[in-house]
Amino acid sequence: MFRKVVVLALFTPALAFAAGGGGSSAPKPSETTQSCTSGKVWDKKTKSCVQASNDLLDDETLYGAVREFAYAGQYGHAQMALAAMSDQTDDRVLTYWGFTHRKMGDVAKGMTFYREAIAKNPANILARSYMGQALVEQGDLVGARQQYKAIVDAGGQGSWAEASLHEAIATGTTYSY
């Protein structure tokens, strides 16, 4: 049964949200990752690539770029967009700081950001899933199961966050997005 849920989550746009937290589907490649270089972000208004720190870009545009960069494995570029966001205490921002640091090899720093995101918003199921996956990577299945339980308790059953952590606990394989 669980395998069916995972397969559905991976192939059904309504359930799959790789590099999640910003919608119900994986971010579609845009000019940001297809045309822009050096971590620049596509600005729809000027129809050009601009520095993430450019005042033309609002936080939602930057957050979309963060998700897209993270999904593409461009963690350094994601961090450039994160650094340009105005509210560094937003739990979504903290979650992606944690994710990018972890994926770039600084698991301890990533875990610090995950804890901050969860302290800010205990129902942040994406932060809990990413933290749980880090715990699986470290061999701490008890801690990973605690994060899984918190996801379910927060109403996250059936979400990508829940399915991906469940799969990681069951198989030891985590996601790179």
The Cα 155–Cα 153 span in angstroms is 5
Give me the pLDDT at residue 102, please: 97
Is the domain 87-177 a CATH 1.25.40.10 member?
A: yes
Q: What is the pLDDT of residues 110-136, one digit of tens each?
A: 999 999 999 999 999 999 999 999 999
pLDDT of residue 27: 81
What's the predicted TM-score (pTM) here? 0.84
47 Cβ partners below 8 Å, 6+ apart?
none
For residue 177, what are the contacts with CB-CB under 8 A and spacing of at least 6?
18, 19, 26, 70, 71, 73
Distance CA 157, CA 154 (A): 8
- Report the pLDDT value the prediction gives residue 25, as an integer from 0 to 100: 59
List the chain residues with pLDDT less than 50.
1-24
> Can you give the residue ranges of every domain in the chain?
26-86, 87-177
Give Cα 45 distance to the centre of its chain.
26
